[in-house]
Structure 1
Amino acid sequence: MIQLPSRAFVLGTLVFLGVAAILLFLRLLPLSTGIMGWPGPDLGLALILAWVLRRPDQISAPAILLVVLVEDLLLMRPPGLWAAIVLLGSEAARLREPRWRDQPFMVEWLRVAVLIGAMMLGYRLVLVLFLLPVSALGQVILQFLATALAYPLVVFGARWLIGLRRVARRDAI
């Protein structure tokens, strides 16, 4: 028999989709003056990784894929490439979440930064391999640093604004 999804799963997924839509809307707003400076962090990626490491039971792979694929299309990136890489990275983090649960936040932050770096490097390598245009390496490194440095702020914001807390060991399946 087919089991219906729990109320917490549906509510968590809807909240995630809503927050991701707000972040994408803010990213699409024409706020720049035309001068390209420091690239901002990828808050959507940081949110996905924070959510997967805090509440892996509330966010599914299709929801992650949908959010990043819509972002790919609206930001005019190669459709599906970054979505596939983010899905692979988030599922790798989800598999390791039980082992990372009892670690201090600094260790999680370092692991997430390494994962973000590997994802961005993989994306860039695929673009180069298929002779697609790539952005300047300096801009990519700055975006990686901005995303890695923004991760603790995203975790704090998700905990404070949404109430996204880490799953307790007794509540884990």
Structure 2
Amino acid sequence: MAKVHVTTTINGEPTEFLCEPQQSLLDALRNNLGLTGTKEGCGTGDCGACSITLDGRLTCSCLVLAVEADGHSIGTIEGMAQGDKLHPLQRKFLEMAALQCGICTPGVLIAARALLEKNPNPTETEVRFGLAGNLCRCTGYDKIVRAVMDTAAEMRETAS
């Protein structure tokens, strides 16, 4: 089968790659492009470990064909930090021990960022709803929710 040429933007950088027509975007990110921060958990879109943004919309990369990314913009966990400066969510997750094994963490962070970009002042219920597509077997969810809530408050204070 002939490989397909894909032109996209990943974390703000123009990117081109070749992929198999049936290859998932998750597989292309990890194996073709070396962006291994996006994790595979279930392969069926149920766990959220592979969460990315596609044109700003939270998406399970295991459910998207790599060829479908052609002409679109992708955001991955590798693009969250700015140089050596962690994103406020990443910093708060570390400070509040809102992570353990790390399999779900990249997807949770991407989902939390997408939530805060849409709703910078979420209630606890809205945070829990916004992260409902991300499963974590290690932390429970309390520390994760608290970290997102604290980050939201901190970002609002900084913006004022």
TM-score (norm 1): 0.28
- Specify which structure has the higher proportion of strand: 2
- Specify which structure has the higher proportion of helix: 1
TM-score (norm 2): 0.29
